[in-house]
Structure 1
Amino acid sequence: MAITPSSPNEQERLAALQSYQILDTEAEKDYDDLTTLASAICQVPIALISFVDDERQWFKSHHGLAASETPVEQSFCAHAIASTHDIMIVEDAHKDDRFKDNPLVTGEPNITFYAGIPLVNEDGYSLGTLCVIDPKPKILSTQQLNALRIVAKQVMDKLELRRKLQTLEGANHSLKSSQQQITQLNTHLKFNDARTRSLIQQAPVAIIVFRGEDLFIEAVNPPMLTLLGKQGDILNKPLLEAIPELNGQEPYKLLYSVLKTGNPVYGYDTAVKLKRNGVEETGYYNFSYSPLIEDGEITGVIDMAVDVTEQVRVRKKIERTEESLRMAVDAADSGTYSMNTRTFEFYASPRLKELFGFNRDEDMSYEACMACIREDYRLTVQTLTEASLYQGERFELEYPVIGYHDGEERWLRGLGTVQPDSHGTDVFFTGIITDITERKEDDQRKSDFIGMVSHELKTPLTSMSGYVQMLLRIAGKDGHSAMIPILEKASKQVSKMTTMINGFLNVSRLESGKIHVDRQRFDIKDLIKEAEEESISTIATHRVIFKPVETSYVDADRDKIGQVISNFLSNAVKYSAPDTTIHVACITLDGYVQVSVTDSGMGINSRDIEKLFDRYYRVEGSEMVSISGFGIGLYLCAEIIKRHNGNIWVESEKDKGSTFYFNLPLA
């Protein structure tokens, strides 16, 4: 369902939204920074600040999305603001009856995961949402959800401050207009001048007129009585008799300064304690004190004031929220940065300076930052940064740095985007950087341990394989036919174990940089032919059909690409029932050669597809119990293809089979 005018309180909600005068305004850096932060916190490519009116959802900030609005009928956010919960989460839109046919799900931006927090104003109206979106299924942690709520709160606080400031600007404009009447008042003001009193009474801002050393209240208008929380009986009384709580406060002292010097005084966001309805409270005011001059003598003071208490409380609230955000970033061991893409002026937070080995209080330029990146990663970081600066692409990378002062190596994860400022005159490259050194070290320790254990297991396993082969030959010669099938099964199990151990060794070598790609120019048609011939002799349980292949030359490591094809085939056999058909195809498409292997097996759940090529990831389920493996084959395939500047992916439907693909650039 979409929000419609017939929904309860919808007209009031729309009126509340219009009162903020936010729709169709220019982009503002403050809001764009918050969507960048939300994207980084939730590790998603898209974050939006969305406002929903009767026809559309309009994006004040659209991080990672080109569109600035969509029809309300397609809006996820319309559902979120109608919800009674403080956050609406859709883990997989393809499985949600509300959204599975939504054009934003079936087409760009391919929404799968959605989390939206309603932006609720002080009167309880939901104006829109802060939402995060991912084209893949996702589950947010409690910490991510809490941090997202903090960001949403800051969005609403900034929105409230924006409205208060607009109101204040209007009041200040009235104040300036009234100040223009001061000259006229100074010329004509007399105690029983009815015309002057009328001017004061009709003024749109709060005005009070004091006369003499005792500051008798000679005139006061209704806005000032409301501001002071007083009745009209204060007229013709000395100031301290009418408002005794002002005694000793700075604004009271300044009145005498104007009386003595004749110089006007202006105050902004000034704290004043006033007693209203018997209760003393502190408010904040902008005011101007102008001398009342008659016949060349200073006879009193004209005070004009504007109550800005709401604005100052909202601003302080935002400052507290921003401090909470800073604390959240610090708790995540993260630093932030911002760079003007025109002037290349670079700002780094104190924590970010520490991550690069600088002192918290010393300057760190963009050039110094790049110089700390380890040399073998520096060009990659520069390339991705330039792609962000000049093509608007999202920066996301893990890379090592060498500390400027301490020389320590740290691994960092950087996220960044380019956004215009609120005036549209400058563009900034902003982002967040997190220390992932501990995770990287843990990964390396695991890899080293696995490599060591695998290496130690390989020698006895090689001996065991030799013994089994020897026993097979002896059994054949001595006529022990009953032993041959048992020994053949043992040989097959040893072979499986050898393959797994070699896989672990390859992972260890891959991550330590000891696996090299030996490129050569060859025709992939010949490699596919070899795979076909091998399948004939090794695959007896399935029908394997190889489609015709055209001559296609690539520059690649022949053995490693063959390993990928072999892995695809063995997985197709492993995960599909006997006597089913496996199809192998190789075509050229858009400057790439594309290889695919299709089976009619159990298929893969959508939640597993995005993790399928991760190291050690295995699909869980009762049907998987009898299938051996440690989840390293596809990880190795992905790393091999990545090192060839290719792509690897899978298309699958549960219980209907899967198609695994990879492509390589044509030579």
Structure 2
Amino acid sequence: MSKKAGLMTSDELLEVLSLSKHATAIYKNADIIIQSANDAMIAFWGKDRSIIGLSLEKAVPELKGQPFISLLKEVWHSGRTYHAKDTLSTLRVDGKLQDFYFDFEYRAILDESGKTRCILHTATDVTAQVKASIQLKELKRAEKVLSDELAESNEELSAINEELRSTSDEVRKSYDQLALLHNQLIIAEHTSRLLLDSAPVAVGVLACNRYLIESVNDKLMQLWGVGHDVIGKPIDQVLGGEEATLLIKLVDQIKISGQPVYSNDVKRLTEDLGFRKTLYHNYIFFPVKNDKEETISVMIVANNVTEQMITRLELQRVETKMRMAVEAANIGTWNIAPKTMTLVYNPTLAKLFGYEGVEPMTFDQAIGQVTEDYRERIQEEINQAISTGGDYDITYSQRRFNDGEIVWMRSMGKITQDSSGDYSLFSGLVMDITEQKKDEHRKNDFIGMVSHELKTPLTSLSAYVQILHGKAEKSGDTFAASALHKAGIQVKKMGSLINGFLNVSRLEAGKILLVKDEFELDTLIKESIEEFQLLSPEQPITFEPCPQIMISADRDKIGNVINNLVSNAIKYSPKEKEIKITCTVTGGTVEVVVEDQGMGIKLQDLPNLFERYYRVESEQTHAISGFGIGLYLSAEIIQRHGGQIRVESQYGSGSKFIFNLPTGN
């Protein structure tokens, strides 16, 4: 029977048994392996605790040739208990072989199927009594011999009387030894009572006839809320209600079966300071039998599990609320067994997927509905989450089972570990975000349309500003020339912003094209630096060029990437701090690094930095303008050129933005 929550473990029960003054041992399997033995039994054998775990034959080799090993094996195979009294055993104690006499019992402890689970060995050293009995027999024989001799010769009477006096002394000594043994029994009974009182759990003994309480320790009295006056009273008078009725029923059951009985979460209603309380107890009933194998009493072991039960009920309420919330939000739930990839899901998920099959949907069926663009990626994400224990969060498109319509889903999950540390359950949620995706497309279309409409008048405005600026310089109007120069800068910034929105729109629509040409990368970087030095002359910018090398790329778009990285470095750095740009060539790759000494980026922002519309929010960045599209576009442009872009940053110390491109050589 499985161990119930809150009960003593086997080791704890064995530890309690080890405190007994009675010699006790427990053997497991047919090889009679010593699973446990208390100090009294080990002393009988003349050994120490190193024999625990050995077979009895190896642990006590002196038993070879004696009947005890074969008797134990017979008890194991038959399941019948064996009793013996005044049995001679030769044991090596204090380094020499000695004869001892024991009363002992080999009791087979059976499991539910009737097979022997273990053997309980109890023994009492009766050497003194047996020897006394032998001496008595010898005395009687001697008396008879003396009587016969008395009849034959009166001359020996004085010698015989002397011998009789000596014999009487021996008899008195034997009776003294018996009295000592009786006192030892009283002490053992008192010790058992002390063990009961000091037990770490609530323990009591209930008589089978009339269900009288024979003994209870303080913990059981506290559990039941009673005092010492309950001793000798029927259980139904002490507890009453459903709990007493159930306990009486369990006592009747154990009287018939003779086997331990378990009962969990027994409910009890009580009052405390005028308030009604509900308590929950777990019980184990052990039979106490006489020498005829009749159950005469029941030992009760109880545990208060009220807090655990309240926690369990609260957890059930929370789970119910969570389930209702998930259903109300139209969220699908799923879990996957990593070893078998068995898929379990709620009805909402089947509805979202359009699955109407009679048989449960399998994992392979669900993956098969994912569109080609995402199928391989979603499989990789799932495998990675299962193998590493990481989080799983992916947006993907799939075809519905019933109508073939393409819908967008967002699935999130996490794998959990069992008690052994193995990843045993991969579970999560799935939401239909089709409408959200449609809204994003409509927004992007609107941004693209508005940006396109603004581009033409802005181009005209830029031309007019340039013309007016030229005329102002020719006429010597320094104020107008300065104002128009600043206006031109702002118009150019507006143009860059509109181009960014247009590029995002084109990128989302798949219409952005790369017009590749061969050019020198370091020349492009120098042009960008010169432009920024005109716009921000107070910002020091240094450049370590790479060897002159031609690359094949879209010059304008790579220029946009460089401009965006340098512009960000200027925006997020103090004016006097240097911005350093380096260019290196390694093999067939050219790498560009833009390094600043600005405010840096927090660790939690780094993974999202290249996402569309993502902005770092802090007190320092609150006043800095931007829409979070520059780095997103830069990453897309570099990736479409077959390169990579990344960032390294220490918050408060500055950042490094690094991208590389294939040289084509």
TM-score under structure 2 length normalisation? 0.57
Aligned partner of 1:432 among 428, 434, 450: 428
Residue pair 2:590, 2:662 contacting (<8 A) in 1 also: yes
Q: How big is each residue's C-alpha offset from its partner over 1:582-635, in whole Å with a ceiling of 9 and x where there is no partner?
A: 5431124698532123457x655758974765526377779986x765443233
Tell me if 1:449 matches 2:443.
Answer: no
Moved more, 368-377 or 604-613: 604-613
Q: How far is 1:564 from its partner? A: 0.4
Hey, what's the Cα distance between the residues in 1 that align with 2:341 and 2:622? 54
Give 1:549 shift.
0.8
What does residue range 213-224 of structure 1 map to in structure 2 within 5 Å? 215-217=210-212, 219-222=214-217
Distance 1:254 1:359, change over 3 A: farther
CA distance in 2, matches of 1:550, 1:269: 81
Q: Contact between 1:588 and 1:594, CA under 8 Å: does it hold in 2? A: yes
- Paired residues of 1:264 and 1:291 also in contact (CA < 8 A): no
**Aligned-partner residue type, residue 411 of structure 1:** M
8 Å CA contact retained: 2:573, 2:596: yes
Alignment of 1:223-622 (within 5 A): 228-245=224-241, 249-256=245-252, 261=256, 264=259, 266-273=261-268, 282-288=279-285, 290=287, 302-310=297-305, 313-314=307-308, 316-318=310-312, 320-321=314-315, 324=318, 327=321, 331=325, 337-348=334-345, 356-357=353-354, 363-390=360-387, 395-405=392-402, 407=405, 409-417=407-415, 420-423=417-420, 426-428=422-424, 430-433=426-429, 435=431, 437=433, 440=437, 442-465=439-462, 491-515=488-512, 526-533=520-527, 535-536=529-530, 539-540=533-534, 542=537, 545-550=542-547, 558-572=555-569, 582-588=579-585, 593-598=590-595, 603-604=599-600, 606=602, 610=606, 613=610, 615=613, 617=615
Q: Secondary structure at the match of 1:285?
A: strand
1:578 and 1:195 mapped to 2: Cα distance? 92
Q: Partner amino acid for 2:512? A: I
Q: Relative CO higher for 1 or 2, CA cutoff 8 Å, sep ≥ 6?
A: 1
1:280–1:304: structure 2 CA closer, same or farther, 3 Å change rule?
farther
CA distance in 2, matches of 1:540, 1:429: 60
Gaps of 5+ in 1: 1-161
Instruction: Report Cα offsets for 1:393-417 as digits up to 9, x if no partner.
Output: 6544333444445756233143435
Query: TM-score of the superposition, structure 1-length normalised?
Result: 0.56
2:448 and 2:502 in contact (8 A); partners too: yes
Contact preservation (8 Å) 1:553, 1:666: yes
2:243 and 2:531 map into 1 onto residues whose CA distance is 103
Amino acid at match of 1:314: Q
Task: Give the partner amino acid of 1:283.
Answer: Y
For this pair of structures, how many residues does the alignment match?
Answer: 486
CA distance in 2, matches of 1:528, 1:226: 86
Rounded to whole Å, the distance in 1 between the matches of 2:307 and 2:621 is 60
After superposition, the C-alpha distances for 1:182-226 in whole angstroms (9 at most, x for unaligned) are: 98899x9xxxx98997797456673434344xx252733536656
Root mean square deviation of aligned Cα: 5.4
| CA–CA separation in structure 1 for the residues paired with 2:432 and 2:393 | 14
Structure 1: distance between partners of 2:605 and 2:340:
43
Identical amino acids, percent of aligned pairs: 28
- Describe the shift of the 1:457–1:242 C-alpha distance in structure 2 as closer, same or farther (beyond 3 A): closer
Tell me if structure 1 keeps the 8 A contact 2:541–2:580.
Answer: yes
Deviations 1:465-500 (A, max 9, x none): 566667789x699x8675777666655544332222
Q: Hey, what does 2:110 align to over in structure 1? A: none
**Which stretch of the first structure deviates more once superposed, 170-179 or 242-251?**
170-179
- Counterpart Cα distance in 1 of 2:15 and 2:576: 86
**Distance verdict in 2 for CA 1:385–1:551, change over 3 Å:** farther
Question: Kindly tell me: are residues 238 and 431 of structure 1, through their superposed partners in 2, closer, same or farther at Cα, counting changes over 3 Å?
Answer: closer
Which residue of structure 2 aligns with residue 53 of structure 1? none
What CA distance in whole angstroms lies between the structure 2 residues aligned with 1:315 and 1:451?
60
Aligned AA for 1:648? Answer: R
Larger Rg: 2
Distance in 2 between residues matched to 1:521 and 1:595, nearest whole Å: 19
Q: Give unmatched runs, 5+ long, in structure 2.
A: 27-79, 82-104, 108-121, 123-184
In the TM superposition, residue 505 of structure 1 has moved relative to its aligned partner by 1.4
What SS does the corresponding residue of 1:550 show, helix, strand or coil?
coil
CA distance, structure 2, for counterparts of residue 457 and residue 170 of structure 1: 81
One-letter amino acid of the structure 2 residue matched with residue 594 of structure 1: E
Contact 1:206 1:306 in 2 (8 A): yes
SS for the counterpart of 1:249 is helix
Rounded to whole Å, the distance in 2 between the matches of 1:360 and 1:198 is: 72
Question: Are 1:634 and 2:634 matched, yes or no?
Answer: no
- Which residue does the alignment assign to 2:139? none
Partner Cα distance (1:513, 1:289) in 2 = 77
Tell me by how many angstroms 1:257 deviates.
5.0
From the superposition, tell whether residues 314 and 553 of structure 1 become closer, same or farther in structure 2 (CA, over 3 Å). Answer: farther
